[in-house]
Amino acid sequence: MAVLAGKVVIITGAGRGIGLSHARAFARAGARLVLNDYGTAPDGTGHDPSIAQAIADELGADVALANADDVSTRTGVESLMAAAIARFGQVDVLVHNAGFVNDSPIPEIDDLKWAASIKGLLGSTFLTVQAVSNHLLARKAPGQILATTSLIGIHGSAGLATYAAAKAGIIGFCKSASMELKPHNISVNVISPLAYTRLTEPMFADVPNAAELLAPDYIADVAVYLASPQAREITGQVVDVQGPRVALIRSVQGEGVAPTGGDRWTAQELHDRWSEF
């Protein structure tokens, strides 16, 4: 069923892994596509424009435009938006999926590595969401925006502190964006995927059928739904997808406990009652 017929969708990181599955699934759903991929190595370095071109060629020039801009820069995002509008006249949906992992144990993180990770993951989310939402606001058009986080941004991971910081920041930024944009009929949701790709292949070396169990196509099915008119009212959500299992990620805060015998805590009472919090 062509649930996205008539929609113009930008997908970043569309040449590999989860983004490649997004591209094929959104094409099957009838969307016209701007397929962005800078063509980096897994650590975010390098540039290969043939990666975006290959998937655009596969899907055909009538529905897909290749774009190899770097979405971590404002000039790259401006160029991507200009190309999308020149080709299709408008943008209705953003799927910001581009990402990489460039991390080290904390003692070895230098300023350049920290900045590259924050800029490439969190900065690119800010720039693409701002550009697409500004475009939608100017058109007074409804729209749907998806960004990409990771369970590592929620739970942390030893050795992946810059990645975790950037991916956690994406959640805070997108929840705020969802609140600002809801009155304008623009939804903003975040997908937290787990899929077998070049980034995760080493983690699953001992799982013989990981490629099938965690196929990126599972993530794409959920992304198509969240970008579809049926899901228009869903916003501000963080959606975990691991193979066929889908779960909303909710934050949990205790009810709050007051001190006994006054309104100030002593160190001793905090210590004694820590398990109640």
End-to-end CA distance of the chain: 49
For residue 181, which phi and psi values (nearest 5 degrees)?
Answer: -95, -15
Question: Does residue 163 carry a catalytic annotation?
Answer: yes
Write down the least CB distance from residue 37 to ligand NAD, Å. Answer: 5
Binding mask 145-184 for ligand NAD (x = CB under 6 A): ---x-x----------------------------------
Interaction between residue 13 and ligand NAD (CB under 6 A): yes
Interaction between residue 98 and ligand NAD (CB under 6 A): yes
Contact residue for ligand NAD among 154, 200, 204, 228 (CB under 6 A): 200
Pick the catalytic residue from 163, 196, 218, 225: 163
Interaction between residue 123 and ligand NAD (CB under 6 A): no
Strands 245-248 and 143-148: unpaired
Q: Within 14-73, which residues bind ligand NAD (CB under 6 A)?
A: 15-19, 36-40, 42, 44, 51, 70-72
- Of the two residues 137 and 151, which places its CB atom closer to ligand NAD in the complex? 151
Q: What is the 3-state secondary structure (H, E, C) of 244-268?
A: CEEEECCCCCCCCCCCCCCCCCCHH
3-state secondary structure of 161: helix
Give the residues lining the site for ligand NAD (CB under 6 A): 12-13, 15-19, 36-40, 42, 44, 51, 70-72, 97-100, 120, 124, 148, 150, 193-195, 197-200
- Annotated active-site positions, please? 163
